[in-house]
A and B are shown apart, each in its own frame.
Chain A
Amino acid sequence: MPDYPRDRLDVKLVVEEDDPETVAEAELAASAYAFEVIIVPCGEPRTKPRACNYALQFARGDFLVIFDAEDRPELHQLKEAVAAFRRLPEEVVCLQARLNFFNARECWLTRMFALDYALWFDFLLPGLDRLGVPMPLGGTSNHFRISALKAIHGWDPFNVTEDADLGIRLTRLGLRVRTLESTTYEEAPNETVHWVRQRTRWLKGYMQTWLVHMRNPVQLWRNAGAGGFFGFQLFVGGTVLSALLNPLLWLIFVLSFFVDLPLPIFAGATHSISGFGLLMGNALFAYLAMLGPYRRGWLDLSPYALLVPVYWLLISVAAYRALW
Chain B
Amino acid sequence: MNWYWLSTGALLIGFWAILTARLRASHFNPLGAAALAALALAQPAYIGQDALRAGLLALAAYAVTSSGQAFVERQDPKRIVFLGSSLAGAQLASPVWGVLASLAFPLAVRRLLPVFEPARLAGLYISLFFIPALMALTFVGLFVAGQLEIPHWSVQAKPRIIESASHLLSIAILTLPLLLAVKLRPRKPPTFLAITVCALMAGSSTVIDLFGFESAAFRLQYGAAVAGLTIVVVSSWNADYGRLRFAVFAVSASPLLCWILKTMDLRAAHG
Contact = CB atoms under 8 A, between A and B. Distances in A.
Contacts of B145: 272
A291 B82 CA distance: 13
A233 to B, nearest CB: 27
Interface in B71-98: 76-77, 80-81
B77 A302 contact: no
B126 A303 contact: yes
A275 B77 CA distance: 27
Given A272-B145, A300-B117, A290 B134 contact: no
B119 interface: yes
Contacts of B131: 287
Given A291-B77, A291-B81, A294-B77, A301 B123 contact: yes
A302 B124 contact: yes
B116 interface: yes
Contact of B119 (A283, A291, A300): A300
A294 B130 contact: no
A319 to B, nearest CB: 27
Question: Chain A interface residue count: which class?
Answer: 10 to 19
A299 B81 contact: no
A297 B116 CA distance: 11
Interface string A287-324: 10011011001111111001000000000000000000
Interface string B92-129: 00000000000000000000000011011111101100
Contacts of A302: 123-124, 126-127
Contact of A300 (B76, B81, B122, B130): B122
A299 B123 contact: yes
Nearest to B116: A299
A303 B130 contact: no
B81 A283 contact: no
Nearest to B133: A283
Contacts of A299: 116, 119-121, 123-124, 127
Contacts of B124: 299, 302
Interface string B123-162: 1101100110010000000000100000000000000000
A301 B145 CA distance: 34
B126 A290 contact: yes
Give the most central of B117, B122, B123: most A CB within 10 Å.
B123
B137 to A, nearest CB: 9
Give the most central of B77, B81, B120, B126: most A CB within 10 Å.
B77
A79 to B, nearest CB: 27
Nearest to B130: A287
B134 A291 contact: no
Nearest to B120: A299
Contacts of A294: 76-77, 80, 127
B73 to A, nearest CB: 15
B91 to A, nearest CB: 16
20 contacts: A272-B145, A280-B134, A283-B134, A290-B123, A290-B130, A291-B77, A291-B80, A294-B76, A294-B77, A294-B80, A299-B116, A299-B121, A299-B123, A300-B119, A300-B122, A300-B123, A301-B123, A302-B123, A302-B126, A303-B126
Given A287-B127, A293-B123, A303-B122, 13 more contacts: A283-B134, A291-B81, A294-B76, A294-B80, A294-B127, A297-B120, A299-B116, A299-B120, A299-B123, A300-B117, A302-B123, A302-B124, A302-B127
Q: Which 8 A-B pairs have the closest CB atoms?
A: A302-B123, A299-B123, A300-B119, A299-B120, A291-B77, A303-B126, A294-B77, A300-B120
